[in-house]
């Protein structure tokens, strides 16, 4: 029997065809879904990223256009903070620098004492108790440069323009003026010359001993030692050096210096610029003449050595740097060279170098001289015999000092 005769063949083919058609449609649908997802997923993500980036940029442009850029604000705030911190740091550095300067001066004084003890050199009573002097402020310290052979000169000064005994102590307490003869020690420490000076100091109490070996060719070193010692012992506005054959009016000197108190670094004296002497054997010969240029050149401006004054800052500078400051043959040239590269005001006051023939009529005219001497002698000629006479003719008057207000 055949399928056709039984009527079964057409129905079987129809069922098979329908099943495959259904399966094929489902497969095509799934394939289409998969293909559609693969094609559109990436562009959609890219669009979102572009949209997001565009929005951020638009926001930045809007903030910048309105002057509210957060980055700019942070930079400005940081700049202000940095400026404030720099200002605080600068102030702290200045304070620290001042403290270090004071400590260096104290250290210099301590070293001077230590060297004196180690070397067995005589120590002034002033050097033994520097802490007792530190609290008092003085107007000026006047150091009168002297030598072992100048006892008569010292006595002539004591008998004329330098107060003695209780008057000198009163001068320190009431007027703030310290006066001392300045001298070092002999090459043979503790010898007869040193003992004579010690005895003289016990009698008068007006000698400042330095850690320095006396000698004419060592005046520059003595000048350094004087300023370093004086600034360690006394806190003063000014430190003065004067020779022991010069006449000085103390009240007039004090009034002159007091006028410059507001200036931090001043160098006061009779400024000059003499020739550099290259020839050997002559007075004031300069062995290092070649440093000043060709032969016939002159020195830079500096105060004449008979009398000059420097402010505390400059005395402190010498004290701190004394081991590296160069010494020329002439002490006044040396002092001028130490200040030539500093911010120092040079004050040329001719009243600090009057002639003994001029000081009398100037005093009568009311223009009293600070200091008087003879240029031909680099001091008062025959000062031991003439000091009292010059004081009588050129002095400011006995009561001028006690009536003065500085």
pLDDT, position 6: 43
Helix (H), strand (E) at residue 240: strand 235-243
Whole-prediction pTM:
0.69
pLDDT, position 217: 81
With 0-12 CB in 10 A as exposed, 13-18 as middle and 19+ as buried, what is 70?
exposed
Helix (H), strand (E) at residue 303: strand 302-311
Determine contact, residues 205/162, Cβ cutoff 8 Å: no
- Collapsed DSSP state (helix, strand, coil) of residue 181: strand
- Alpha-helical regions (H) of 259-382: 312-321, 331-339, 359-364
Our CA angle for 310, 316, 319, nearest 5°, is 110
DSSP 347: E
Q: Do β-strands 302-311 and 235-243 pair in parallel, antiparallel, or remain unpaired?
A: antiparallel
**What residues in the chain have per-residue pLDDT under 70?**
1-23, 25, 28-80, 86-87, 90-135
Structure tokens at 168: 């000198």
pLDDT, position 254: 98
pLDDT, position 216: 80
DSSP 149: T
pLDDT, position 35: 54
Pick the closest to residue 245 from 382, 392, 389, 396 (CA basis).
Answer: 382
Structure tokens at 141: 């310290």
Domain at 138-261+305-324+351-403: CATH code: 3.90.550
Residues 346-369: tens digit of each pLDDT: 999 999 999 999 999 999 898 999
Helix (H), strand (E) at residue 254: helix 250-258
Residue position matching structure tokens 């025959």:
382
pLDDT, position 55: 53
Residues 6+ away with beta carbon under 8 Å from 279: 285
pLDDT, position 50: 42
With 0-12 CB in 10 A as exposed, 13-18 as middle and 19+ as buried, what is 245?
buried
Structure tokens at 112: 């001077």
Residues 6+ away with beta carbon under 8 Å from 304: 269, 270, 271, 272, 332, 353
- Collapsed DSSP state (helix, strand, coil) of residue 370: coil
Cα separation values, 22 from 12, 118, 169, 246, 388, Å = 16, 122, 133, 137, 146
pLDDT, position 42: 44
User: CB 139: neighbour CB atoms within 10 A?
Assistant: 18
Determine contact, residues 249/391, Cβ cutoff 8 Å: no
Residues 6+ away with beta carbon under 8 Å from 404: 175, 251, 254, 255
Residues 239-255: tens digit of each pLDDT: 999 999 999 999 999 99
Pick the closest to residue 269 from 375, 331, 330, 349 (CA basis).
Answer: 349
């Amino acid at each position: 029997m055949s399928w056709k005769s039984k009527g079964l063949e057409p129905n079987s083919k129809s069922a098979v065809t329908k099943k495959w058609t259904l399966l094929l449609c489902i497969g095509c649908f799934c394939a289409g879904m998969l293909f559609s997802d693969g094609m559109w997923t990436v562009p959609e993500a890219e669009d979102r990223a572009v949209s997001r980036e565009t929005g951020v940029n638009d926001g930045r442009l809007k903030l910048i256009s309105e002057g509210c850029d957060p980055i700019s604000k942070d930079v400005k705030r940081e700049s202000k903070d940095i400026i404030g911190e720099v200002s605080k740091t600068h102030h702290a550095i200045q304070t620290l620098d001042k403290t270090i300067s004071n400590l260096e001066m104290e250290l210099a004084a301590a070293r001077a004492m230590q060297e004196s003890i180690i070397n067995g050199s005589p120590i002034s009573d002033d050097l033994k108790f520097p802490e007792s002097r530190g609290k008092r402020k003085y107007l000026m310290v006047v150091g009168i440069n002297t030598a072992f052979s100048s006892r008569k000169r010292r006595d002539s000064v004591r008998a004329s323009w330098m107060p003695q005994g209780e008057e000198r102590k009163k001068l320190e307490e009431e007027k703030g003026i310290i006066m001392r003869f300045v001298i070092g020690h002999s090459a043979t420490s503790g010898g007869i010359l040193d003992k004579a000076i010690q005895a003289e100091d016990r009698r008068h109490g007006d000698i400042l001993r330095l850690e320095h070996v006396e000698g004419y060719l060592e005046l520059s070193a003595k000048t350094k030692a004087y300023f370093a010692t004086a600034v360690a012992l006394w806190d003063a506005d000014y430190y003065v050096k004067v020779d022991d054959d010069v006449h000085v009016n103390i009240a007039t000197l004090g009034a002159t210096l007091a006028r410059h108190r507001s200036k931090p670094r001043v160098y006061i004296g009779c400024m000059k610029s003499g020739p550099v002497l290259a020839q050997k054997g002559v007075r004031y010969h300069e062995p290092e003449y070649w440093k000043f240029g060709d032969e016939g050149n002159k020195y830079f401006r500096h105060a004449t050595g008979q009398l000059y004054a420097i402010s505390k800052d400059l005395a402190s500078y010498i004290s701190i740097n004394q081991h590296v400051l160069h010494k020329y043959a002439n002490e006044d040239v040396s002092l001028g060279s130490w200040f030539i590269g500093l911010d120092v005001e040079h004050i040329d006051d001719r009243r600090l170098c009057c002639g003994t023939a001029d000081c009398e009529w100037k005093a009568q005219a009311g223009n009293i001289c600070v200091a008087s001497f003879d240029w031909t002698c680099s001091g008062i000629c025959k000062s031991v015999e003439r000091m009292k006479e010059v004081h009588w003719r050129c002095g400011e008057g006995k009561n001028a000092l006690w009536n003065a207000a500085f």
